[in-house]
Each structure stands twice: as C-alpha cells, then as structure tokens.
Structure 1
Amino acid sequence: MLIVTTNDIPGHRIDAVFGEVMGLTVRARDIGAQLMANFRSIGGGELPEMTKALYESRQQVMHRMVTEAQQRGANAIVAMRFDTSELGPNWTEVCCYGTAVWVIPLARGEAGATGQSAYLVDHAAQQSGSGPLPGT
C-alpha cells in the first residue's frame, strides 16, 4: 500500500476516494521503563525505552489504518498524519489518519507521468504477458 503525506501522488491519478481511515491506540507506560526513563532523563539525551514504545505504537496504528483502507478497497492513502496526546499522567494516545483512495499510475507519455509511474505500468504489462507498452 502506497502511503504519502501529500494530497496527491506524482505520476498517479486518484480514481476513487473511499474516505478517511485511521488507526488508534492508547498505551500505558510500563512502570519499569518509566522509572528507567526518569533516571536517564537526569543526564539528558535520548530515552530509548520511550523511543521504542512510541515507534511500536506508530507501527501498530499504521497497520490498523492500512487494514481499514484495504477493507474499503483502497490501494493508497493520501494526506496521512500522526497525532499524539497525553491522556492522564501515564497514558498516551497515538493516532494516524489519512484518506483512502484508489490510484492508477500514469503511463510513459501521459501528462504528469513520472519515471516511477511509467515503470509500474510497464512492469504490470510485462507481468500480464502483454509486454512493454507501445512507445516505451
């Protein structure tokens, strides 16, 4: 699934819009990791326990968002964003959201085509056995 933070995808035409999709999780901080992070914060620098927890949360919510988009029939998500907030002293909400769409790569020679989109079209044609498209 192609996921971008932009409102469009260079070299692709948005053919259908399926609406907003999102992934959400609320995490409680592990007391051991919290204590270790508090201790490390005295000296400054990165808190690897908190970095790992946030990274895992983002991966989880992205997976949930992609699953929802696939269930709607999308092959891409545009305008993807992350959002986080604190819910009380030990809970963190992590959310990602975007717009589920169906995109079609533009072939070589079409207005707006890119090298990547032309490659995708050519590759799909080769996989289907029809060979490269005329003019490629």
Structure 2
Amino acid sequence: MLITTTEAIPGKDYEVIGEVFGLTTQSKNVFKNIGANLKNIVGGEIKAYTEMLEESREKAIERLKQNAKDMGADAVVMMRFDSGSIGTDMQSVAAYGTAVKYK
C-alpha cells in the first residue's frame, strides 16, 4: 500500500474514503531509563530513546496501513506523525492521513 506525505499521487485518480490512524504508546525498560538518565548528565544522543521513537513510528505506520486496508483503501495521502510524552519514560506516536481508493 502506498503511503505518501503529499496531497496528490501523480498519475492516479482516486476518491477519498476517510481518515485513518495508527497509534502506539511505548516505553523502555528500567535499565535503559537508568542509562538515559546517566547520559543526561553528560549530554549527547540518548540512543535508547531514539530507538524507541523509531520503533513507535514503525508500529504506528503498520497500524495505519491496517486501518486503511480494513477500509478498502488503495493508498494513504497526506500522512503525518504526531507524538508526545506520557510521564517521563513513555512516548505516544500517532500516524494519520487520508485513505483513498483508486477509480
């Protein structure tokens, strides 16, 4: 299934089906949180959290695709991400867009 951040798919005529979402909330284990807190003292990238965000985005896209598939869509246009923290060690990620069906 094609997922694009653009409004239009070149060469394709389609009708809008509706909004689609993929949501996830993830956290790292306590040991990785301790490592992240220590890294916070000296500065630099906290790789455990970078990995968590990458995993969260991948999971959100998987769920977005499934939501679109369940609606009978051929593609998703205008896909975006939104994210936010829940507490100090959880991250919520939403992938959302518009499901479309080719004519």
Q: Same fold (TM over 0.5)?
A: yes
Q: Name the aligned partner's letter for residue 86 of structure 1.
A: S
The answer for the alignment partner of 1:11 in structure 2 is: 11
Give 2:82's aligned residue. 83
Hey, what does 1:107 align to over in structure 2? Answer: none
- In the alignment, is the contact (CA less than 8 A) between 2:53 and 2:91 conserved in 1? no
Any gaps of 5 or more consecutive residues in structure 2? none
Aligned amino acid, residue 13 of structure 2: R
2:76 touches 2:100 (CA, 8 Å); kept in 1? yes
Deviations 1:3-52 (A, max 9, x none): 111111122222x2110010111223321111111212322222111111
Partner of 1:41: 40
- Larger relative contact order (C-alpha < 8 A, sep ≥ 6)? 2
Letter in 1 for 2:12: H
Larger % of strand: which?
Answer: 2
Aligned residues: 103
C-alpha separation between the residues in 2 aligned to 1:91 and 1:52?
13
1:66-110 deviations in Å (ceiling 9; x for gaps): 001011111110010100012223322111100011236xxxxxx
Structure-1 separation of matches of 2:8 and 2:77: 6
- Asked if structure 1 preserves the Cα contact closer than 8 Å seen for 2:74 and 2:102, the reply is yes
- When the two structures are superposed, what TM-score results if normalisation uses the length of structure 1? 0.69
Matched-pair identity in %: 42
Structure with larger Rg: 1
**Whole-angstrom distance in 1 between the partners of 2:49 and 2:89:** 12
